[in-house]
Chain A
Amino acid sequence: MRPWNLERKLVLAVLALFLVPTVVAGAILAALYRRGAFEDPAALVLAFVVGFVGMMAYLGLMAHGLGRALVSRLQEIQRGTELMATVHPDHRLRVHRGDEVDALAEEINRMADRVREARGGLETQVEQATRALSEERAKLSAILAELDEGVVVATLDGLVTLANPVAQELLGAPTGGLLARSLFDFVDREKVAHFLDRLRAGQSAAERFSLQPASGAVLHAGMTPFLGADGRITGFILALRDVSRPAHREDERRRLLTETLEALRGPLSSVRSLSESLLGDPSFAPGNGSRPLLEAIHAEAVRLSGLVASVGVPSLMGLAHAPWHFEQITVSDLIVVSLRRLAPDGMDRDAVRVEAPTPEPRLRAEVSALSAAFAHLLGHLLAMRTPAGGVWVRSSRRRGQVMQVEAGADGQSTLARLEELLDASVKVGPAGRLSVREIVRRHAGEAWAVADADRLAFRFTLPVEETRESSSTGDGLPPSGARFVGAGTVSGFGGGEAGPDWRRGFYDFSFFDQMERSLLPADRARALDELTFVVLDTETTGLHPEAGDRVLSMAGVRVRDGVLRRSEVFDALINPGRPIPAGSIRFHGITDAMVAEAPSIDVVLPAFLRFAEGAVLVGHEVWFDLRCLEPDVARLGLPSLTATRPVLDSLLLSQAVHASASDHDLDAVAARLGVRIQARHSALGDALATAEVFVRLLELLRKRHIRTLGQALDAARAVRTHRMPRS
């Protein structure tokens, strides 16, 4: 039995509530009576009114205090229980005075202990299962290591989770290998995405195509999907085989054949025509002794002409230039791939209309190169069209095995300008640059430009692949779900009042607004559980990038499937190209000597963007980091950090989850959520801490039924709209 239980406290409190004022009022009344104050009726009324008001005020204050004491303790228990049940199992409720409320807290603490013990058992089981899985993985790795083919296992967004040494060699991966790198650092993303889309759309069970990594090798790739427990495709396996040498040999053979045939045709024409002309000349009339010789020359010329024609004309497909290896693709699909290549900024990609025959024949195309060529031309057509004008791609089957494709727009231009665009070089996957004309020529095709009074166009003739399947294709592919597509630009920051003092002044909510406007509804609907996040942090020479402060160090860490991936980190020191102020060295500990040999931001930033490709950016007061990086992003001509991906701020999410808490800087949020920060004020240390905080916030958001990216952005917006005053 507790000496002071809640019931007794309440009874005593209520008694005290009434007893104290009654005694006080009685004493006052008695004193007044003794002084004869009640002989005056007005004084009596006044005493009554004052006494009544005083009594009510006293009762109100006491009731409020009593209720507040009780409710605040219950709120504390609710918050603590939620933390124990979700992100901070070691947290325990404080027990104060030993009443029923404390008994409840003690009971919850005991229950948490039991849950912890049970979880410990579970963790042991998970550990055992993980160990078994690791052994299986080691066995699989050993088998893969013995294969002659390269094998890469990757997630839908291209993250390599398993690769054998042959694959590493074929793709030209540096020391450190392919693991945890993006496959798209080495091969053409859009081409892989195109064939992945075909798998996801159920158009085939496996895809075969070629890849040309930056190493210059020609690889035959076989792509097969692997499925998650729910039957959906969660990743893919690529089997890679080097066909460079046979391809180059074949290329040489074809080139020689082509050149020889072409070189023969001119002289043959001359010999044939001249001999025919001489045979018709009176000086070589029948009876002339030389005529049989001339007739023999003419007969041989005619025979050779027949031979050259029979070899040359049907070999249209064979003359498409190796070492490229060609895939089959419809024009519609090719345009889908091409449009993906266009930077989203200011490009109305939906304005491109595709008209194709049904059924749609397949081109014989090297998808990386041809889609890069079309992307280049379509980008210019979109820019050159008249404001209300359209852009179209029309394809039609022409004579024989030839497809004519026209990419055009309403607008005006000169023929010379359009020809320049055909001669301009475009990036062809990671392997190099070629002009549009050369790309088309390598497809055994022709390209030319047309400029009329009110429209401009590029026309192509391209060979069609004759296959049994060609009549069954032709549907446009669904857009890839593996990456974000957005439009719009993001500008700078202004002032604000949230956050720790040293970063105060860097919030500009228009940044959020513009980022959200650029998001597609499909992106907003994506589940947080399915997304990959890269948690970012930077250290800088100071707080004023607009005044010349530069980034000194940047780090990123991936969060995937709701789990912090400690092995998937990006961490780089950066030479800022200017002295580091002593004041900031005290803060982050990075000295001039430490960055003397470090690469510049020109090298580090593109590498970071590749690391973060396809991921949602997250940071604690992330806008400060972005503001520091944006000038370099713009200078290097890179896509804006926020234009093609959503950005979440863990500070705002913390406010959304724990509105009653007063402090939301990283230290306070980490302490509240049971995260221990190591190496505070280093980019990697802070990024890791923020990532751990973010993982816990995700769980708390889920409990509040915030499950999609759009809902998380809305929650953050509600915080900044209602709780953070605009500057």
Chain B
Amino acid sequence: MSKGRVVIIEDEPHIVLSLEFLLRREGYETASAADGEEGLALVRQLHPDVVLLDIMMPKRNGYQVCQAIKSDPDLAAIPVIMLSAKGQEVEILKGLELGASAYVAKPFGNAEVLETIRAALEPRA
């Protein structure tokens, strides 16, 4: 039985590979997109339980995708977890202001990612 559906929006293929490997092993269903526009389309199509969202991406950056998700009444309830290579407070704050539920700074460990996803899904359980 699936623990939930996760959409990974990330342009670095090795990170997508590692997250998909980890999450599938932990019982999540995953789908991924390599840029912001494709990712937003995927979220609209799949209505996942949680979105893992990188910030620095081609076409639409993570902030714009987050803003689009949160301004769409159909999608606004989906928790968004931001992934960033910068890890600075100004970015974290901006992500949270735009509606992200949590923030994971790269480089991250598997336990950190899993715990953040679990916490994001908890209120929905």
Binding site for B on A (CB under 8 A): 262-270, 272-274, 276-277, 280-281, 301-302, 304-305, 308-309, 312-313, 316, 319, 398-402, 404, 415, 444-446, 448, 459, 461-463
Contact = CB atoms under 8 A, between A and B. Distances in A.
Contacts of B87: 265, 309, 312-313
B85 interface: yes
Given A274-B14, A280-B25, A459-B97, A269 B108 contact: yes
B80 interface: no
Contact of A277 (B22, B105, B107): B22
Contacts of B67: 415, 448
Contacts of A267: 12, 14
B46 interface: no
Contact of A446 (B15, B94, B109): B94
A312 B97 contact: no
Contacts of A463: 90
A404 B93 contact: yes
Nearest to A449: B67
B85 A265 contact: yes
A455 to B, nearest CB: 14
A314 B107 CA distance: 16
A448 B94 contact: yes
Interface string B57-101: 000000100010001000000000000011111111110011000
B15 A270 contact: yes
Given A269-B18, A277-B25, A316 B88 contact: yes
A267 B63 CA distance: 22
B106 A398 contact: no
B113 interface: yes
Interface string B98-125: 1000000111111001000000000000
10 closest A-B pairs (Cβ-Cβ)?
A: A270-B14, A268-B107, A273-B18, A265-B106, A461-B90, A265-B85, A446-B94, A305-B107, A269-B107, A276-B110
B89 A400 contact: yes
Given A274-B17, A446-B63, 8 more contacts: A262-B86, A272-B108, A281-B25, A309-B105, A312-B87, A316-B90, A404-B97, A448-B97
B103 to A, nearest CB: 11
Nearest to A441: B90
Q: Mostly helix, strand, loop or mixed at chain B's interface? A: helix
A277 B89 contact: no
B106 A266 contact: yes
Interface residues of B, number: 31
Nearest to B19: A273
A463 B91 CA distance: 11
Interface of B: 12, 14-15, 17-19, 21-22, 25, 63, 67, 71, 85-94, 97-98, 105-110, 113
A448 B88 CA distance: 16
B2 to A, nearest CB: 19
Nearest to B97: A459
Contacts of A266: 12, 14-15, 85, 106-107
Nearest to B108: A269
A281 B89 CA distance: 35
A272 B92 CA distance: 22
Contacts of B94: 446, 448, 459, 461
Contacts of A402: 89-90, 93
Contact of B106 (A268, A446, A448): A268
Given A448-B98, A461-B93, A273 B108 contact: yes
Contacts of B22: 273, 276-277
A401 B89 contact: yes
A461 B89 contact: yes
A274 B108 CA distance: 11
Contacts of B18: 269-270, 273-274, 277
A378 to B, nearest CB: 20
B90 A273 contact: no
Contact of B109 (A273, A319, A401): A273
Contact of B113 (A273, A444, A462): A273
Nearest to A281: B25
